[in-house]
A and B are shown apart, each in its own frame.
Chain A
């Protein structure tokens, strides 16, 4: 039964399609290099171009990541002018540290597996099917990313905790178990998978799979032999990002885990921000870094060899309306998952923002508007907060896309250890504790000309640190899938490298670029990472305003916090929808 399937699929895979093209670098290496002096100078020029492209990202990361982190870790390890190796050994061998490390690793692995399990079918549905409201859905799944953890945690507890939906229906409570943490991680990271994998999936030419089917392969075999291999780099990239995010999980663990569970990130936060025990924090930071570096090494080793050129088409050509009962049922099942897991908690927030004293209404929204006029400086005018948030996020996105695109362009062609090291380096900001970065800023960016501690730019810079890895991870699989022969053809026809990039790479990668930009924007709007640990000048953003309101007693404070959270959701969804629209308008350029 399986045999003809396999044969058919292999027939497609080995047919003269780009899928089967040998990896470009080897392709080039086959040529008799020494025989052509011009080839050598071209190679030298290519190296120069690559180094030039890398200059900006390298400077960015060295200045705003490497230097601050190295300085604060160094200060911890060398307290009082002596190396604290005894202290380091003590921390490393303490059973508490091992407990924390074990929990950090396993919950990250479990969260990643669970997220992939839930989100991959969703990515497929969004990539391959055309249905009304698809764009809205794609924006909605990204909304969790921008919401403050305190707000989301509270909504989550309302659903899975005591007195929640599950509790009332089946007496099932998850707030006391680790399941609440895992589910919250799926909630936050669903969009990572849908966006990273979906970006490539929606551009894979469906005709290859169809050809395999025509030749007799079963649906599953065709998928396994044709689509899956093509998707591996993107899936691995998504898995890596989800893993890094959950590995360094902070807010979710604190809000839903109480004091029972702690990740390395939580422990580093406590040692740094609460106790200022820099030696312990430094050792834990290095431990976290080592774990992340090992993870990145495994990732690089397993993925690199599987990347190959793919035939990419416009997403609009790949998606079609579902056909038959099976496909509709599948689509509906995915929509149901999204509704229960993602939309329901969001709906709880909206419901709370509307449940004013004495029945549903807009009282809290009105209060926001009214209090803004009052002389009390406490309530931030909502429009001002929206403006601040948008401005910060726009600047951060700009930085992230600029730096990320340059990095991705430099990394497109696989080559020596230099490039590979650079590739891994770009992911590190997701794996290093935010409090380490934030406190590092404090003691490094403190001298002119780089005294940025009281400057507004520090906030978008910190946000961009988290955004760049997204941009690179989303664009790189697509860039590497671009058939090298297209670029060669452009060069043969006389195009300069810049022109070839503009005409060949850019049109194919711009879609992924917009997806990446949307994500960088959402990450910035939600103020991930080090921004929490930076003392900020007085231009409160939406998340900051929500946090301030939530920190006070009183019905109206809580209600206004919920109303502002709802506004934050709408702003995020609105901007993402706008980006989706940009994409559609330009699809004709494919």
Chain B
């Protein structure tokens, strides 16, 4: 008897849920009080900073996180005109042209834009997107390993194909991983459209290893990470310029003389992340306020230790862990967003057949 009741209850509950989802589902951004930020998995913000924004503006922020930046941008393009939210954060320079060409953003000149250096403003004339942060994808090295071997760590892309660094580097799949693609773009920026394939042939001959994502490369293979120290076999990995400060910040020893890992400063590609007001946003006013907030001092200050990137604003001081253990990248390799958009798929395909 009891079981019958339970079955009946679960059937009823199930149908209630199915029925109810229609009514509570639309509450995404019904103007006035709430604004929805569509972004990727790596977006983080301190709670008190977000609360301060809500208190000041009266706008409540909902955050919708898609999987990775690539998927998030494509989902935004697919739902053009009837967007999932009001503001999108997380389109980077590798995907910027695609997003702009698709016309998913409405111009808005954010407050505080004047504090953001000109070279980060890749859409300066139209202001469809606002630069929020930047970070560099660079080869990281295991400091202890190179000290032990009495070998100078590599500094440039050219160094990586030298015989003394044979079988040392692990990279990610450029087809599915964002740092993987960035490192491929670094080589395109350095050697040009005609030269990068030769460079990768040499890298391959020098024993480069390839895994799917950053997690496998850094956590499983890289000897400089805590988890890779025991089982890892590669003292060089494609990661971020901010990884050494993160190693210190999330490590046991918070004040070492040097970070356990270092950055090969001549191997970098700069990723700039932008935010924009989505075309067809249900709460454009709230969205504009949110954009101003993202480009504002408070959020920018909060950025580095949450997302491990540099704030776009020049007037914001970096936390000590960045200045002490991080590397300043003077001249990252660069490729224009239009060129990336025109060639990305072809480059990735050529790269994949090279690496097979």
Contact = CB atoms under 8 A, between A and B. Distances in A.
Interface of A: 56, 60, 150, 153-154, 157-158, 161-164, 254-255, 257-260, 269-270, 272-277, 352, 357-358, 375-378, 395, 398-399, 401-403, 405-406, 439, 442-443, 445-455, 457-458, 460-461, 502, 506-507, 510, 532-538, 544, 547-548, 550-559, 586, 589
Given A442-B79, A538-B63, A259 B175 contact: yes
B84 A535 contact: yes
Contacts, number: 228
B27 interface: yes
B247 A555 contact: yes
Contacts of B218: 553
Contacts of A507: 3
Interface in B7-35: 7, 10-11, 13-15, 17-18, 20-29
A586 B28 CA distance: 44
Interface string B28-64: 1100000010100110111110100000000000111
B354 to A, nearest CB: 10
Contacts of A550: 215, 219
A532 B355 CA distance: 28
Interface string B190-229: 0000000000000000000011111110111000011100
- Size class of the B contact interface (CB-based, 8 Å): 35 or more
Contacts of A150: 213, 215-216
Interface of B: 3-4, 7, 10-11, 13-15, 17-18, 20-29, 36, 38, 41-42, 44-48, 50, 62-68, 70-72, 74-75, 77-79, 82, 84-85, 98, 173, 175-176, 210-216, 218-220, 225-227, 230-231, 233, 239-240, 242-244, 246-247, 249-252, 305-306, 308, 345, 352, 355-356
A332 to B, nearest CB: 31
Nearest to A356: B252
B148 to A, nearest CB: 18
B212 A556 contact: no
Contact of A158 (B11, B78, B225, B231): B231
A259 B210 contact: yes
27 contacts: A60-B18, A150-B216, A158-B231, A162-B233, A258-B210, A270-B175, A274-B176, A276-B98, A376-B305, A376-B306, A377-B44, A377-B47, A377-B50, A399-B18, A405-B11, A453-B79, A455-B21, A460-B17, A506-B4, A533-B67, A535-B72, A537-B62, A537-B63, A551-B42, A556-B250, A557-B246, A559-B226
B142 to A, nearest CB: 12
Contacts of B7: 405, 506
Given A162-B233, A439-B75, A454 B24 contact: no
Contacts of A399: 14, 17-18
- Greatest chain A CB density within 10 A among B46, B65, B75, B246 is at B75
- Greatest chain A CB density within 10 A among B3, B14, B98 is at B14
B84 A442 contact: yes
Contacts of A506: 3-4, 7
A273 B84 contact: no
A507 B2 CA distance: 11
Given A443-B79, A556-B250, 11 more contacts: A60-B18, A398-B14, A442-B79, A447-B82, A451-B28, A453-B28, A457-B24, A537-B64, A547-B41, A551-B215, A558-B227
